[in-house]
């Protein structure tokens, strides 16, 4: 028997590949299925089942393309109602893969169809659980995504999740390995550990959610501090439940090179968003007016989902040459399939054509320290928890994920400084501000990490972030 965790850092997502004898199973596959097909071919095994722990909200699963290419059936837990052919398993139903078994444990709460899969090895020993978004390392799945107005509340779901954990997970042996669907950085939880694999006994000892004295306390603690989920989550659920275009078709449409001469008119004709995926360092030096910068080398896909929101919005790309396929793949992971093409020759081609360009004024932390005055206005776009832990005295907390709510409140007649932790998020914010006609600001390279090193600026006392979430 072989169990492999296939972890994707930018989504903080774990898919799982299980092999026994000449058969395999895959749990929660990502949108691009070639890596799985390559593994199956290398191991000379047949994919018998594709297991889905629930209808994912933060990414588009590869279940449909993988099933189409391998003819393996898709399996969901009880109560799931997909709009395509699938096996809807019963609680405690057993599926055999080679000499091992996978037992269905219905664990509703994160969503009503949420299911944990229990792996039983060749000797009949319960070995591992694949918990999806039911149980994370250090946390549990947020119970506010599947609530329905007037019927099921987040408090109801939290209570259901408590019952699932107490009746299905806690009775299992401490030696069992826990394989969650997500790790630290995912928006599906609030307090996840950086590790991606653990044993259940350690989680029973250290996971705050598993150590509440009663259901009432569990509900209170699990719901405390939850921020609003990203707005694209609902669209991803709909795609996972209802179906989507083949990634092959998405790629064929998106890998369309557009000359600098045609790019501008193409954007105007289609109403496409110009998405510039170059690094913040390159973007600030020059970019196409109104382009939005979300750098590929960062939490690219989640920020696209959070800030662009509408997965059907047409997109035109400005990317470093040779990265276009990776960009389209990572966009597809969160459901953004409507890429119309990319700028051939990247930004250099645009600049060499003599067309209008724009730039963001950026200064070093040392230059900021010299320019800073007692009445200087500073906008900090980090998360609330980061800001609460430590910040420049009197800086305004304006988290990037809520920029659509506060951008209209900015007074462009008053100069301000803009920063995040390291420069990635502040350049995203800078590009959005520019697109809204707000230009009277200076962005700080290196963000708060660099600002602290100057030791010349007034900052609040440090508070451990774990106490501020």
Rounded distance between C-alpha atoms, residue 373 and residue 33, angstroms? 54
Take residue 310 and report the two structure tokens written for it. Answer: 């509408």
Identify the band that residue 420 occupies on the pLDDT scale cut at 50, 70 and 90: very high
pLDDT at residue 215 in the model: 98
Question: pLDDT tens, 80-128?
Answer: 999 999 999 999 999 999 999 999 999 999 999 999 999 999 999 999 9
Identify the band that residue 456 occupies on the pLDDT scale cut at 50, 70 and 90: confident
Query: HSE (CB half, 13 Å, CA atoms) of 406?
Result: 12
The distance from CA 334 to its chain's CA centroid, rounded to whole angstroms, is: 8
Identify the band that residue 129 occupies on the pLDDT scale cut at 50, 70 and 90: very high
Q: Is the full-model pTM beyond 0.85? A: yes
CB of 116 closer than 8 Å to CB of 130: yes
pLDDT at residue 467 in the model: 35
Question: pLDDT tens, 176-228?
Answer: 999 999 998 888 887 799 999 999 999 999 999 999 999 999 999 999 988 88
pLDDT beyond 70 at 469: no
For 102, list phi and psi in degrees, rounded to 5: -120, 125
Identify the band that residue 463 occupies on the pLDDT scale cut at 50, 70 and 90: low
Closest CA relative to residue 205, chosen from 156, 138, 155: 138
Closest CA relative to residue 108, chosen from 127, 83, 131: 131
pLDDT at residue 466 in the model: 42
3-state SS class at 239: helix
């Amino acid at each position: 028997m072989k169990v492999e965790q296939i972890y994707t850092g930018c989504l903080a997502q774990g898919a799982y590949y299980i092999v026994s004898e000449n058969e395999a199973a895959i749990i929660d596959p990502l949108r691009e299925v070639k890596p799985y097909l390559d593994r199956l071919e290398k191991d000379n095994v047949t994919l018998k089942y594709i297991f889905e722990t629930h209808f994912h909200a933060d990414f588009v699963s590869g279940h449909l393309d993988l099933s189409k290419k391998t003819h393996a059936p898709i399996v969901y837990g009880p109560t799931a109602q997909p709009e395509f052919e699938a096996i809807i398993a019963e609680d405690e139903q057993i599926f055999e893969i080679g000499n091992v078994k996978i037992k269905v444990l219905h664990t509703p709460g994160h969503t009503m169809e949420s299911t944990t899969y229990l792996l039983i090895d060749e000797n009949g020993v319960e070995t591992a659980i694949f918990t999806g978004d039911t149980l994370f390392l250090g946390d549990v799945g947020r119970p506010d995504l599947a609530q329905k107005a007037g019927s099921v509340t987040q408090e109801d779901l939290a209570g259901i999740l408590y019952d699932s954990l107490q009746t299905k997970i806690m009775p299992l042996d401490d030696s069992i390995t826990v394989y969650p669907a997500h790790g630290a950085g995912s928006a599906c939880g609030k307090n996840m550990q950086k590790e991606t694999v653990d044993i259940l006994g350690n989680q029973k000892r250290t996971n705050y959610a598993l150590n509440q004295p009663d259901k009432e306390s569990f509900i209170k603690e699990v719901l405390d501090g939850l921020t609003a989920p990203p707005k694209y989550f609902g669209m991803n659920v709909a795609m996972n439940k209802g179906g989507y275009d083949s990634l092959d078709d998405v790629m064929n449409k998106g890998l369309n090179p557009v000359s600098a001469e045609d790019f501008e008119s193409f954007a105007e004709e289609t109403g496409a968003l110009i998405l510039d995926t170059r690094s913040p360092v390159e973007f600030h030096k020059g970019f196409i007016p109104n382009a939005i910068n979300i750098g590929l080398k960062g939490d690219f896909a989640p920020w696209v989902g959070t800030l662009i929101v509408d997965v059907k919005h047409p997109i035109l790309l400005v990317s470093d040459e040779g990265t276009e396929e990776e960009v389209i793949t990572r966009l597809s992971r969160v459901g953004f399939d409507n890429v119309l093409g990319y700028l051939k020759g990247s930004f250099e081609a645009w600049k060499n054509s003599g067309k209008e360009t724009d730039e963001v004024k950026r200064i070093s932390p040392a230059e900021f320290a010299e320019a800073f005055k007692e009445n200087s206005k500073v906008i900090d776009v980090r998360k609330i928890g980061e800001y609460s832990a430590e910040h420049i005295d009197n800086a305004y907390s304006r988290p990037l994920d809520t920029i659509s709510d506060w951008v209209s409140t900015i007074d462009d007649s008053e100069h301000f400084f803009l920063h995040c932790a390291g420069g990635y998020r502040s350049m995203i914010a800078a590009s959005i501000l520019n697109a809204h006609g707000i230009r009277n600001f200076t962005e700080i390279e290196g963000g708060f990490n660099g600002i602290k090193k100057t030791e010349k600026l007034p900052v609040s006392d440090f508070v451990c972030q774990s106490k501020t979430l």
